[in-house]
Structure 1
Amino acid sequence: MAYVVTEACVKCKYTDCVDVCPVDCFHEGPNFLAIDPDECIDCTLCVAECPVEAIYAEDDVPAGQKPFIALNAELAKTWPVIIQRKDPLPEHAHWATVQDKLDLLEK
């Protein structure tokens, strides 16, 4: 079972999770992070680091967020690996409280 980045990450892109990942399974897109399910070792370290609670175990992804399971797998195949923390996106504080952002995800 892998971990999954969900909608709360869109347009925020906090990267605190990247710093604690022991296997470098995070991939970076323009305004979202994705976890490669083939690389994730289910260590749970990233979950506590996410300030917007965007990361869930695959079995615990909320019903409305289920499309993000396949989306993480798809995007991780094409986006580059990110291994160091970066600053969040400029308007992260505003976007952290917005819901229904899937259409804003830039691939």
Structure 2
Amino acid sequence: MAFVVTENCIKCKYTDCVAVCPVDAFHEGPNFLAIDPEVCIDCDLCTPECPVDAIYQEDALPENMQHYRELNIELAKLWPVITEVIPAPADADEWGGVTGKEQYLIIE
């Protein structure tokens, strides 16, 4: 079982979770992070570190976030691994808790 990054990470992209990941399972995109389920060891260290509660265990995903499981798999293949904490976007606090953000996800 792996963990999944969901909508609340979009435009927030706090990287506190990256600092505690023992296996470098996080991948960084322009305004979102993804977890590679093939690398994730289900340690649950990342979940309490996320200040916007964007990370869920795969089998505890809310019904409306189920599609993020597949999205994390796809994006982890496209994006580079991130292993160090970087500053959050300047407006990250304004986006925390905002719903309907999937339209702002930048895949590049």
TM-score range, shorter chain: over 0.9
Give the match for residue 103 of structure 1: 103
1:52 aligns with 2:52: yes
Task: Determine the structure 2 residue equivalent to 1:84.
Answer: 84
Q: Which residue of 1 aligns with 2:39?
A: 39
1:90 shift after superposition: 1.3
- Give SS of 2:46's match: helix
Deviation string 1:25-61 (CA, Å, 9 cap, x unpaired) is 0000000000000000000000000000000000001
Match of 1:73 in 2: 73
Give the fraction of aligned pairs with identical amino acids, expressed as a percent.
Answer: 58
Ranges in structure 1 where 5+ consecutive residues have no aligned partner: none
Aligned counterpart, 1:12: 12
**CA distance in 2 between partners of 1:88 and 1:102 (Å):** 18
Two-structure CA RMSD over aligned residues (Å): 0.5
Normalised by the size of structure 1, how large is the TM-score?
0.99
Tell me the CA shift for residue 97 of structure 1: 2.6
Query: How many pairs are equivalent?
Result: 107
Q: 1:34 is paired with a residue of what secondary structure?
A: strand
Shift of 1:98: 1.0
For structure 2, list consecutive stretches of 5 or more residues without a partner in the other structure. Answer: none
Deviates more, 1:89-98 or 1:8-17: 89-98
Query: How far apart, CA to CA, are the structure 1 residues paired with 2:39 and 2:97?
Result: 30
